[in-house]
């Protein structure tokens, strides 16, 4: 039997947010079984659930009333990737810090303090049949499986990227090695447009790969780092189902909008083990 997990102790990370450019701070705290991942800003609580998604243009934003918590996906990806079921995420500011643009700093901080196994069993969701969503250019399928895995395909009209694809296991070891270090990226030609839409204000070469016409802004961590970052985002957005899922995901050109639509479909179609 699989047991639920939480983190072993408190962890604090801080830094600028990728889109607002504002300084923010998150403190992760252990939480009891069956409480899930819950954000806390001041006295307000917000469950990490697709029902609370209010924006998916460049990142995934959760909100309720006037509460906003932006760019939740990289932190949620680390929690999901490491199979952490329960945690409280206290946030100062309106956006999770970008750290290095990947999930690796969250993973390393969590690894340092370790995990705590709880006495309650994990309640994974299982699909009875395959389900699919399409949002614009994005096609996503979730099929019944005994494990969680992702096949992802990306295509960009750029000579350095083109068509890329890969298969990724859902085990924490594989996530940590193959997915967590992949950084977010943006095209140099898009940066101005993003800035004028008040996005990517905190983006810099410290926390993002910038892709120019003929080169990347620095050395890549993997030849297909951009593909892997899309997988990282999927791990994050699918946390919004609210439970671990046993499904084989196929994602063709995934986007936050499509990922969240799939999270919703899985939570509506799947049954608890
Ligand atoms: Zn991302």
Of residues 269, 232, 248, 259, the one with CA closest to residue 50: 259
Highest mean pLDDT among 15-24, 146-155, 192-201: 146-155
Distance 4 CA to ligand 1 centre (A): 26
Mean pLDDT of the chain: 94
- For 149-173, how does the pLDDT look when each residue is reduced to its tens digit (9 = 90+)? 999 999 999 999 999 999 999 999 9
pLDDT of residue 230: 98
User: CA–CA separation, 273 vs 257, rounded Å?
Assistant: 27
At 104 the pLDDT is 98
Tell me how far the alpha carbon of residue 70 lies from the centroid of ligand 1, in angstroms. Answer: 11
Residue range 15-31: mean pLDDT, rounded: 93
Per-residue confidence (pLDDT) for residue 184, from 0 to 100? 95
Q: Which of 19, 74, 229, 256 is catalytic?
A: 256
Q: How far is the CA of 154 from the centre of ligand 1 (A)?
A: 14
The alpha carbon of 250 and the centre of ligand 1 are apart by a number of angstroms equal to 18
pTM over 0.85: yes
3-state secondary structure of 161: coil
Q: What separation in Å is there between the alpha carbon of 121 and the centre of ligand 1?
A: 30
Q: What separation in Å is there between the alpha carbon of 58 and the centre of ligand 1? A: 8
Q: What is the pLDDT of residues 59-106, one digit of tens each?
A: 999 999 999 999 999 999 999 999 999 999 999 999 999 999 999 999
Quote the pLDDT of residue 261. Answer: 98
User: Which CATH code for domain 3-121?
Assistant: 3.30.230.20
Please write the tens of the pLDDT for every residue from 212-228: 999 999 999 999 999 99
> Does 52 participate in catalysis according to the annotation?
no
208 CB-side CA count, 13 A? 21
Domain ranges of the chain: 3-121, 125-272
Place 201 in a pLDDT band, splitting at 50, 70 and 90: confident
List, in order, residues 6 or more apart from 184 with CB less than 8 Å away: 18, 74, 98, 101, 102, 207, 208, 209, 229
- C-beta separation of 247 from 146 below 8 A: no
The pLDDT, as a whole number, for residue 273 is 81
pLDDT at 272: 87
Residue 196 has pLDDT above 90, yes or no: no
Residue 203 has pLDDT above 90, yes or no: no
Percent of the chain at pLDDT > 90 equals 88
- In this prediction, residue 20 carries a pLDDT of 87
Does domain 125-272 correspond to CATH entry 3.30.1700.10? yes
Q: How many Å lie between the centroid of ligand 1 and the Cα of residue 136?
A: 19
pLDDT above 70 as % of the chain: 100
Distance 249 CA to ligand 1 centre (A): 18
User: Which pLDDT belongs to residue 128?
Assistant: 94
pLDDT in tens, 48-67: 999 999 999 889 999 999 99
Distance 59 CA to ligand 1 centre (A): 7
């Amino acid at each position: 039997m699989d047991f639920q997990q939480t983190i072993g102790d408190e962890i604090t990370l801080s830094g600028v947010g990728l889109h607002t450019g504002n300084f923010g701070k998150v403190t992760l705290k252990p939480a009891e079984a069956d409480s899930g991942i819950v954000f806390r800003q001041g006295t307000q609580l917000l469950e990490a659930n697709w029902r609370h998604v209010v924006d998916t243009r460049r990142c995934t934003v959760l909100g309720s009333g006037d509460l906003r918590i932006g760019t939740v996906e990289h932190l949620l990806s680390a929690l999901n990737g490491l199979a952490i079921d329960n945690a409280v995420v206290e946030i100062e500011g309106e956006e999770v810090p970008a750290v290095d643009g990947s999930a690796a700093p969250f993973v390393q901080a969590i690894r340092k303090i370790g995990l705590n196994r709880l006495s309650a069993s994990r309640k994974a969701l299982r699909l009875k049949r395959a389900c699919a969503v399409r949002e614009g250019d994005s096609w996503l399928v979730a099929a019944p499986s005994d494990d969680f895995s992702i096949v992802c395909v990306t295509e960009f009209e750029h000579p350095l990227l083109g068509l890329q694809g890969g298969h990724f296991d859902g085990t924490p070891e594989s996530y940590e090695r193959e997915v967590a270090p992949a950084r977010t990226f943006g095209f140099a030609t898009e940066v101005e447009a993003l800035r004028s839409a008040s996005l990517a204000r905190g983006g810099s070469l410290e926390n993002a790969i910038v892709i120019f016409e003929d080169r990347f802004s620095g050395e890549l961590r993997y030849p297909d780092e951009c593909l892997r970052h899309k997988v990282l985002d999927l791990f994050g957005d699918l946390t919004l189902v609210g439970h671990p899922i046993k499904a084989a995901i196929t994602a063709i050109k995934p986007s936050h909008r499509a990922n969240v639509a799939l999270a919703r479909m899985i939570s509506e179609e799947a049954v608890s083990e």
